[in-house]
Structure 1
Amino acid sequence: MSVQQGLWAVNNPTGTSGILGIDKLGDAIRFFDAETLVEQKVIPHKNHHELAISPDHKHAYASEFGKFFAGNFIESGMHISVLDLARQEIIHRIPTAPFKGPHAMRFDLDGNLWVIFEETGELGLVDTQKMELVQTYEIGAENGRPPFIEITPDGRKIYVSCKLGSIIVFDTQSRKVLTQIAVPKGTEGIAISPNGDRLVAAENSRQDLLVIDTATDQIVETIALKGAVLSNPKTSRLIRLRYSPDGKYLVSTNYASGVMHIHDAENLADHVLIPIAKGPQGIAFSADGKHTLISNHDCGLFTRVDLASGKAVDCVTAGKGIEAVTYY
């Protein structure tokens, strides 16, 4: 495995030790058995949203986003919780104040953690040895509600999606914004391909997938999703995206439509639509590459889907409303 592939695998983890989920509606962090999906432990803790698993799979980082309701932040989150995965306990909380709303996180080649602050708009860097936020960068996203980031497998670029603006491209060597990729209605979910040549982003108007060439930072293809529904653009359209560990599939979940898609990674327009349950969000992949696990945020379920056949094989009750989920 190359260094680049290793970094991609770090930021797209799987494993057999367990499943970790952030129960946003249930104000909890939940652990599950990786095979049976039986819940093992619950840590009551509110306002967390996203997850990152350390390269050695000893720790997880959970971002304390806060609470957003009716177009406003009604509670501001200003911490990242650090969990010991073996003990299934929170062992440290990294303060981020005055920077608010930490959301998506990605590791770099040095093992440090980049984080985007959705409420205040900065891109931050956490030193994972010191367990502290050591640097933040103004990237022009203070009014853009930036929810997600992706880092290229060579660690040189970070892509930032903005619900209310363009995709921002940040250079990790110069620590400056390189360019912006214009998307008038904004984007939410983004995913980088395993070899780093393509970024896929979901735009918020028609819910199309935008394929971006990372060499030129230009949109080279637009793909309409089967079953996408027209909905209020002022509310969350939230399409999440993730490539499978073997790079064979791209999975997309469509929160507004209650469906998911499995795409051929080599031809994203070739995709199957799978109705699952209300409010699908988180995407995880089993270590054997056979299944994807979807968290249905609005109805408290996990749905397990066979990737080869494109069929849902079972579902189980899982918390009240899990947003982010991962195997580790």
Structure 2
Amino acid sequence: MGTDQSLWATNNPTGRTGLIGIDKLGDAIRFFDPETLAEQKSIPHKNHHEVAISPDHRFAYASEFGKFAAGKFIESGTHISVLDLASQSIIHRIDTGAFKGPHAMRFDQAGQLWVIFEETGELGVIDCETRALTETFEIGAQDGRPPFIEILPDGSKLYVSCKLGDLIVFDLVKREVCARIKVPKGTEGIAISPSGDRLIAAENTRQDLLVIDTATDQIIETVPLKGAVLSNPKTSRLIRLRYSPDGKYLVSTNYASGVMHIHDGQNIGDHSMIAIAKGPQGIAFTQDGRHALIANHDCGLLTRIDLASGRALECVVAGKGIEALTFY
């Protein structure tokens, strides 16, 4: 499989210029010093969840998801905010109209931004020049609550996780669904390896990690997580996954268990567990690949992890509850 490492790096950003966090509980988008983690600026803005960084690191895109509680959407989100990273300010809001609940976003080889709409279930395409939603695709996820997407490094396929159903595989060349990977109880976090040969997905029954061969779109291995707790399969487990910039590590955060795992990037079954603060979610890697920052959504902390030793080095107070964050 041919790969484009620059596309993988675009969709897995890092850097030394800044750190941005989407404070879902605090209704704010926050900027931090990338070294000291001191807060530099806070922009009040409610109901945002995820963030994507443009290939040139000039802009950030923050999805306005809405609000989900008691098993239903109580507020619908229909915008994606565009932020200028130099001025740390919102410069535009993209209206998504009837397509509701924008969540995860990924860039393709043409520089277009793909977005999944969790409330209504479509895939959408944002033209980053005109800053408008230009295309949408029905993918059979209208009842699946699809939260996350990943694009292969060669730009050929896009994967969609569904909390309430199978993984969906979308052919980016033909612009159509080309496969469904059976996971009856659904999945949460997904991550593509830097080489593009593997998709890792977190399933919702026992919180196992599924290793999927992207050439065949078949599950080839199931990895039970150390310390995973059994819980109601109808309740979101919120396991997130992300590879380090060099591909040496895969990090998983387990919201329900209050722990994270550091996996060998080539053999994810080889992993260690670290107990951290309540409600871990977002993961950001420093550019040198030595440290990961974990956003502790339920207690307003950022925890710095040394990946080689598997030790928590420090935690700092950061907002009320950050869901997603990244260096840029």
Q: TM-score range by the shorter chain?
A: over 0.9
Cα distance in 2 for residues equivalent to 1:74 and 1:251: 32
The amino acid across from 2:305 in the alignment is V
Which residue number in structure 2 is paired with residue 317 of structure 1?
317
Give unmatched runs, 5+ long, in structure 2.
none
TM-score where L is the length of structure 1: 0.99
Q: Does 1:27 align with 2:34?
A: no
1:68-217 counterparts in 2 under 5 A? 68-217=68-217
What are the superposed Cα offsets for residues 204-228 of structure 1, whole Å, 9 maximum, x if unpaired?
0000000000000000000000000
Amino acid aligned to 1:61: Y
1:306 is matched with which residue?
306
**What fraction of aligned residue pairs are identical, expressed as a percent?**
76
Cα separation, 2, equivalents of 1:166 and 1:235: 16
CA distance in 1, matches of 2:108, 2:205: 32
Mapping for residues 231-310 of structure 1, pairs under 5 Å: 231-310=231-310
Displacement after TM superposition at 1:233 (Å): 1.6
Residues 5-28 of structure 1: CA deviation (Å, up to 9, x unaligned): 000000000000111000000000
Give the 3-state SS of the residue equivalent to 1:10 in structure 2. helix
Contact kept, 8 Å, 2:3 with 2:196, in 1: the verdict is no
Q: Distance in 1 between matches of 2:246 and 2:288?
A: 10
Greater shift, 227-236 or 67-76, is seen at: 227-236
Count the aligned residue pairs. 327
Name the stretch that deviates more: 230-239 or 139-148: 230-239
Letter in 1 for 2:258: G
In structure 1, the gaps of 5 or more residues are: none
Letter in 2 for 1:180: R
- Note the aligned Cα RMSD (angstroms): 0.7
Give 4+ residue runs of structure 1 displaced > 6 Å after superposition: none
In the TM superposition, what is the alpha-carbon distance from 1:232 to its structure 2 partner? 1.6
- Structure-2 change in CA distance of 1:286 and 1:102 (3 Å): same
Alignment-derived partner of residue 10 in structure 1: 10
Letter in 1 for 2:202: A
TM-superposed CA distance for 1:127, in Å, is: 0.5
Looking at structure 2, the residues matched to 220 and 97 of structure 1 have their Cα atoms a distance apart, in angstroms, of 40
- CA distance in structure 2 between the aligned counterparts of 1:113 and 1:326, rounded to whole angstroms: 17
Give the AA of the match of 2:140: G
- Deviation of 1:288 after TM superposition, in Å, equals 1.3
